[in-house]
């Protein structure tokens, strides 16, 4: 479990799992730039070499830029918050994986920040590919350095994704040096540890645990049977804390499910992109969203998706649904505090 007894400045969030890609494209960029520079030194330099080198410099610069955008730490993470010695406003801590990190997912953190501007500081402790074990053993202690009054937890998608596809699970175990293989048993254990640590170290904080979003929009699919089982675990774990009056469930799956059933047919959902193919969308989505001005809704629509951008991460509509769920919970807690 995380150590929370001593105060410290949380480290800069790493880019776990993407280090090789970053080194590769930066290295190729240097090689292409050197080739261009050497060619330019000679008045009789070959035009073909010059043009090819210039093209490669542009391509590798673009790839490096996009990977940086997708993997850089959130704009206000625990490291930045503590270093800036912020204070005064209550902290809403958003804990999670890539869906909360939002390098390639709808920006519900920004939506909540805008909805509650001036009332809370929204701090984000979330990273691509992370699972419940790393949160329990490491990231809770980082986030507690910010003394959060409110904690929103959406964690488990990578655990369950790894149960559905063992190759994905093996990758998560290696990249994050996990002690336990991803499993329902380990997910239950670490989710309970996460909540216990917030309850113990921050005795006045309020905690909300989200049910996990769907994996793909076909609600009857095999991946979503795993999600439903995980959501049962979430309800069971949270139920053991309900008597404290400090832990709640935000039914994110239920809200997204309702929207899908109200706005699409079962046939449409079955034809939409499957989570098995989510990684194929990343480069296209990064370019369209960051360089060409597409919305995540626009990108997801091409794959038949209503609340997701790639069958794993949320689009703008899905993010708005999550933000509304967080907002309703947070508004209720703020009002209760104001009545005391």
Per-residue pLDDT of the chain (340 residues; tens, 9 = 90+): 444 445 899 999 988 877 677 676 566 556 555 665 666 666 555 676 667 666 666 666 777 778 888 899 999 999 999 999 877 899 999 999 999 999 999 999 999 999 999 899 999 999 999 999 999 999 999 999 999 999 999 999 999 999 999 999 999 999 999 999 999 999 999 999 999 999 999 888 999 999 999 999 999 999 999 999 999 999 999 999 999 999 999 999 999 999 999 999 999 999 999 999 999 998 899 989 998 999 999 999 999 999 999 999 999 999 999 999 999 999 999 999 876 5
Edge to edge, what strands does the sheet with 206-210 contain?
A: 121-126, 91-96, 150-154, 206-210, 247-250
Total tally of structural domains belonging to the chain? 2
Q: Give yes or no: residues 35 and 79 share one domain.
A: no
Q: Based on the domain organization, do 26 and 85 belong to the same domain?
A: no
Residues 46 and 142 reside in one and the same domain = no
Let me know whether 139 and 59 are in one domain: no
DSSP letters, 140-191, are: HHHHHTT--SEEEEE--HHHHHHHHSHHHHHHHHHHTT-SS---HHHHHHHH
The domain of 157 spans 74-339
Kindly state whether residue 168 falls inside one of the protein's structural domains. yes
Asked if residue 198 and residue 92 are part of one domain, the reply reads yes
Same domain? 181 vs 114: yes
d(CA 126, CA 251) in angstroms, rounded, equals 19
Q: Are residues 218 and 317 in the same domain?
A: yes
pTM here is 0.89
Show Cβ contacts of residue 111 under 8 Å, excluding neighbours closer than 6 positions. 319, 320, 323
How many angstroms separate the Cα of 226 from the Cα of each of 221, 300, 310? 9, 23, 18
* Distance between CA atoms of residues 20 and 142, nearest Å: 25
């Amino acid at each position: 479990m995380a150590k929370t007894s001593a105060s410290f400045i949380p480290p800069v969030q790493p880019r776990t799992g993407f280090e090789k890609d970053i080194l590769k494209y930066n290295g190729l960029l240097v090689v292409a730039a050197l080739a261009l520079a050497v060619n330019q030194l000679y008045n009789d330099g070959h035009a073909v070499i010059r043009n090819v080198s210039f093209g490669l410099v542009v391509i590798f610069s673009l790839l490096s830029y996009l990977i940086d955008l997708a993997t850089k730490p959130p704009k206000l993470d625990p490291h930045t918050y503590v270093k800036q010695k912020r204070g005064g406003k209550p902290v809403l801590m958003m804990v999670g994986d890539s869906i909360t990190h939002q390098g390639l997912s709808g920006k519900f953190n920004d939506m909540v920040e805008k909805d509650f501007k001036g009332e809370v500081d929204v701090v984000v402790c979330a990273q691509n590919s992370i699972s419940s074990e790393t949160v329990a053993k490491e990231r809770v202690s980082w986030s507690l350095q910010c003394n959060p009054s409110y904690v929103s937890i959406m964690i488990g998608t990578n655990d369950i994704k790894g149960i559905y596809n063992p190759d994905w699970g093996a990758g998560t175990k290696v990249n994050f040096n996990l002690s336990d293989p991803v499993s329902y048993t380990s997910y239950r254990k670490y989710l309970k540890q996460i909540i216990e640590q917030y309850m113990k170290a921050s005795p006045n904080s309020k905690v909300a645990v989200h049910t996990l979003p769907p994996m793909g929009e076909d609600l009857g699919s095999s991946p979503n049977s795993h999600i439903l089982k995980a959501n049962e675990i979430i309800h069971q774990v949270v139920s053991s804390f309900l008597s404290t009056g400090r832990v709640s469930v935000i039914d994110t799956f239920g809200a997204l499910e309702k929207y899908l059933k109200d706005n699409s047919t079962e046939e449409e959902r079955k034809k939409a992109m499957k989570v098995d193919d989510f990684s194929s969308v990343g480069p296209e989505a990064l370019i369209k969203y960051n360089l060409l001005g597409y919305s995540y809704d626009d990108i997801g629509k091409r794959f038949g998706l209503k609340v997701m951008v790639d069958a794993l991460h949320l689009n703008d509509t899905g993010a708005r649904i999550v933000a509304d769920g967080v907002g309703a919970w947070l508004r209720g807690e703020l009002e209760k505090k104001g009545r005391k």
